[in-house]
Each structure stands twice: as structure tokens, then as C-alpha cells.
Amino acid sequence: MFAPQRRLPPGNVPASAEINAVPRGVRKNGGQRPPLRALIPPFHVRVAERDGLRVVEVEGEIDILTAPRLAVALGDHDGRAEALVLGLAKVPFVSSSGLRLIVASHRGLSRRRGLALAGVQSNVAHVLEIVGLASALLMAADVPAAIRLLAERDD
């Protein structure tokens, strides 16, 4: 798998010895290592608010690293949001940290117009089904449909 660049003498290797290895088949580009891909996938949150409706659209995985950023976007610090649409069309994975945020938002808005999820991908929908949230949450195909769904609850 990896081909060492230099051989070390047999026997005990000192702890400070460096072993430089490159994957087989990778050519050395003037002594530079091959570029590494980002370890943390990109994560973006967009928030729009109008007439008591907050729309939070998420792009990327919701996990323990990204949940704090989402929590800030979902937080209703001034108490003005009557309803929330959480757009998940570009979210391929939700961990328990993300589920906790969804449940907290659902509970916080239960006495108002509520929470609706929009564009839930199949992997996320499967997790919601497993933990029993799929039947408790409003879900729509996209953000405009979720807004209409919440508006119907108002009538």
C-alpha cells in the first residue's frame, strides 16, 4: 500500500525517527506530497425571516461539529419566530446532535405555528423514521411547500 522512501536499519528504531511514505503509484512532484482533501466537509446555513416565519436552509452534514452553528441559526432569541422551515435538501446525514436540535425546535414551536422540514433526503428520512420522528413532524417536498403547509395550520 505504502512504499517507504528510505530504509531504516533493522532493530530498534528511535522514537524520533521519521518515516516518509507515499502511496504506491504516486509520483513525487519535486518532493511535494500529494494534496490532501479536506477532512471536514463544507457546511453552510442560510437564514431568512419574514412575517414571523424563519427559513433555515442547511447544506452539509449535521453532526457534533456542525450542530452548534445550526443551533445558533435555529435559536429564537427575540421570540419573534412563530414558525420555522428547516430546509434539508442538501443534507445527506444527520447525527443524534442534529436530531436533538430538530426535537428542541419542534417542542419550542409546538404552541405556535410549528416546524416543518423541507426536502428531506432518503437517508435522513430513514433516520427520522427509525427514531419515531417522521410521524411527529411536518414534512414537505421543498421550502415553498413547507411554507404552504404551515400556512394551512394557521387557518
Q: Where are the alpha helices (DSSP H) in 1-131?
A: 67-74, 96-108, 122-130
State pLDDT tens for residues 22-79. 455 555 555 666 666 667 789 999 999 988 899 999 999 999 999 999 999 998 767 7
> Does any domain span residue 94?
yes
Query: Which residue range(s) make up the domain with 102?
Result: 48-154
> Does any domain span residue 42?
no
> Does any domain span residue 34?
no
Between 112 and 4, where is the model more confident? 112
> Does any domain span residue 138?
yes
Residue 54's domain is classified under what CATH number? Answer: 3.30.750.24
> Does any domain span residue 7?
no
Quote the number of domains for the chain.
Answer: 1
State pLDDT tens for residues 131-144. 999 999 999 999 99
State pLDDT tens for residues 75-98. 876 777 899 999 999 999 999 999
> Does any domain span residue 17?
no
The total of other beta-carbon atoms located within 10 Å of residue 65's CB is: 14
> Does any domain span residue 106?
yes
For residue 84, what are the contacts with CB-CB under 8 A and spacing of at least 6? 53, 54, 55, 56, 74, 76, 105, 109, 114, 115, 116
Task: Provide the grid cell at 122.
Answer: 432518503
The total of other beta-carbon atoms located within 10 Å of residue 132's CB is: 8
Entry pTM:
0.74
> Does any domain span residue 87?
yes
